[in-house]
Structure 1
Amino acid sequence: MEVLYYTRNKCELCKEGKLLLQLLQEDYPFKIIEKDIDASDELTEKFGLMIPVVEVCDEIIQYGRIDLLALEDKLKDYMHRKQYTC
């Protein structure tokens, strides 16, 4: 499964969120695809004030301050779906 992680440089919340995602990777099989919103005007417009943003299957599952337990619950939910078809 792929988890899109929208971030930007010099963002402390983004650094914290990435550490939480990496912690969850120890127990769950997913790949983090990090996207810097500053590299795209479209992404900056879409996510500018929300970052960091965690997206799975085209659905934003968390943004801003990332909550480990809530994020884990959402990831488990996607993994228990029919082979996470997205």
Structure 2
Amino acid sequence: MKPKMTFYTKPNCKLCDDAKALLETYQLMYSFDIEEHNIEEDDELLEKYFLTIPVIKYHDQEINAEELNPETLDTFLKENLSD
């Protein structure tokens, strides 16, 4: 079973679209599944992530919009998915 990255997003979010494309690029290298959640469909998620989406989460580790770029995502994935 592949590891699963949780991706918090919302519609009409350019940063989210860019982050998803970047995440999908790394998906080919690191072999993981992406579980996407629209924060607008869940009040708790909306309250928690409204100001920080897109957010990528693996277990209890998160990377948000402020931190997200190719280098930090690569490091995040290496640290969390390396055997």
Task: Output the TM-score relative to the length of structure 2.
Answer: 0.90
- Structure 2 unaligned blocks of 5 or more: none
- Structure 1 unaligned blocks of 5 or more: 82-86
Secondary structure (helix, strand or coil) at the match of 2:31 reads: coil
Which region of structure 1 is more displaced relative to structure 2, 29-38 or 66-75? 66-75
Aligned residues: 80
Letter in 2 for 1:3: M
Aligned counterpart, 2:33: 31
| Consecutive aligned runs of 4 or more in structure 1 exceeding 2 Å deviation | none
The RMSD of aligned alpha carbons is 1.1
Task: Output the TM-score relative to the length of structure 1.
Answer: 0.87
1:61-85 C-alpha deviation (Å, 9 max, x unpaired): x11152111111111111125xxxx
Determine whether 1:21 maps to 2:17.
Answer: no
Matches of 2:55 and 2:72 in 1, distance apart? Answer: 14
Matches of 1:57 and 1:73 in 2, distance apart? Answer: 16
